[in-house]
Structure 1
Amino acid sequence: MNFLKIVKYDFINILHNPALIISNTILPVVLIAVLGFVTQNNFGKEPLSAYDYQSVNMLIFSVSLIVAITTSNSFMEEKVIRGNMRIAYAPVSKMEMVLSKIVSSYIFVSICYGMLIPFCQYILGVNMGGNRCLWFALLLNAFSFFECCFGAMFCCIFRSEEQANSIMQIPLFIFIFLGGVLVSIHRLGKIVNEISYISPVKWIVRCSYQIIYDNDLHLLLSIIISLAILSLICLLICGLRFKPEEYI
């Protein structure tokens, strides 16, 4: 019961941050609209328009970058730190404290992107796979949970929101670059293309297009399992590095 109360408290703190709400809802739509308009002359209308392409890529890009930052904010934003004092002395384990930040962030971003996918498909009219958009949503949810764990891990390692965010962005942008959501990585040669498969973003991009355009789900389960393993590794590091007294 104490754990659920902490999750509720952390979730409400996130809702009180307009920047996080905007960055997880309005910002992806703006990116889709702007980049879709700028690149529309490079695409036809069938089977893949500029808005179709940018919708998938920008949703993945947003999850890749913004979700981890959302979690680090829920851990160490100034207002949250003041409230952590009560939690630190509550009868809960240190892992429950870590998990409450991760779970509350995950619930928040799941709601945000759970609304964005049908919004893109039914309001903006872009191709999210039709009925297969549920599988795409499942994939993004698994990726979101990994990003929440990844953001929490950096907070536990560096114990400073500013330092965690600044250093965390280095691997995140490497993942994004190798994932090909901003540039077509295959144009950089075979070696770079092979290296790109170390990026979880690359897995998500490849699986997303297979789901949406080929009705092919054969990568979905293996990627979800891989993301779950990476999430567990992040949680293990959190457990080893987290000290509640350093967050108050």
Structure 2
Amino acid sequence: MYRFMTILKRDTLNLIINPMWVILCIAFPFLFTAILGLLTEGLYGSTVSSYDYYGVTMLLFSSLYAGTYSANSFLEERIKQPNLRIIFSPIPSWFIPISKIIATFLFTGIFFSLSSGIAFLAFNVNFGGKMLPYVWLLILALDFLFSCIGVLMCCIFKSEGAANQVLSILTALLGFLSGLFFPIASLGKTMVTISEVSPVTKVLDAIFAFIYDQNVSQFFPLLLLLSALSFATIVLIIFLFNEEDYV
């Protein structure tokens, strides 16, 4: 495990020393919360402010983008070339993709949390108070799942560009269908029915139930679902990853 930890430290550092990724991780959820919260201020009633709504939904939307970070850290040329030495060293091949997943999860988890802290201080976003641990664990579980999905897309398409194109479409579609930009109920019953298929919708509904109803009945079922999906994705990654494609 010493060799794996060495690779993981290097992968995490590669993410942290990229200033654009750090800025994007912090600025993306905060700025979207600020802009959308300002544009829709007063439309969500007195119980839930627009900043409360978008503070949560933009954090979820950012978690979907963890796939883009993991894809970039997996196949970006700047990082890919030094990792060629790892491929030809006497270590299990799965060290490479799994390390990228965990590094991305740690990176995004830390900086998304920082961004949310800034949003809380700036706009008093309600993240649940004493329910915060439930909210955060579910968001982190979604973040980890999409960190896995980003690497899986690279294993399937063998290209950072193709993987990012697919991830962009998937992220935008899930964000729209799950009501992350506006309540999906405004689009009618058909769209609501379609939206209910999305696991992101279930996570969003559960988080608002945590925050406003103190109802945590869906916490463990959803945590188990996201964990099972992550595990299945990792199994596929280990099966599909081929060192020769990486070269």
**5+ unaligned residues in a row in structure 1: which ranges?**
none
Measure, in 2, the Cα distance between the counterparts of 1:184 and 1:49: 13
Q: Which residue number corresponds to residue 57 of structure 2?
A: 57
Comparing 226-235 and 123-132, the one that deviates more: 123-132
- CA deviations on 1:81-101 (whole Å, 9 max, x unpaired) are 111111111222122211100
Scaled by the length of structure 2, what TM-score is found? 0.94
Query: Over the residues paired in the alignment, what is the CA RMSD in angstroms?
Result: 1.4
Deviation at 1:123, TM superposition (A): 4.7
Q: Which residue number corresponds to residue 219 of structure 1?
A: 218
Q: Which residue number corresponds to residue 9 of structure 2?
A: 8
Say which structure is richer in helix.
1
Deviation at 1:120, TM superposition (A): 2.9
Alignment of 1:1-248 (within 5 A): 1-44=2-45, 46-64=46-64, 66-248=65-247
Deviation at 1:122, TM superposition (A): 4.1
Deviation at 1:109, TM superposition (A): 1.1
Measure, in 1, the Cα distance between the counterparts of 2:203 and 2:191: 18
Deviation at 1:42, TM superposition (A): 1.7
Amino acid at match of 1:89: F
Percentage of identical aligned residues: 31
- CA deviations on 1:103-125 (whole Å, 9 max, x unpaired) are 11111111112323333334531
**5+ unaligned residues in a row in structure 2: which ranges?**
none
Measure, in 2, the Cα distance between the counterparts of 1:87 and 1:200: 36
Deviation at 1:230, TM superposition (A): 1.0
Q: What SS class does the counterpart of residue 41 from structure 1 fall into?
A: coil
Q: Is the 8 A contact 1:153 1:234 kept in 2?
A: yes
Measure, in 1, the Cα distance between the counterparts of 2:194 and 2:124: 34
Measure, in 1, the Cα distance between the counterparts of 2:170 and 2:44: 31
Scaled by the length of structure 1, what TM-score is found? 0.94
Amino acid at match of 1:164: A
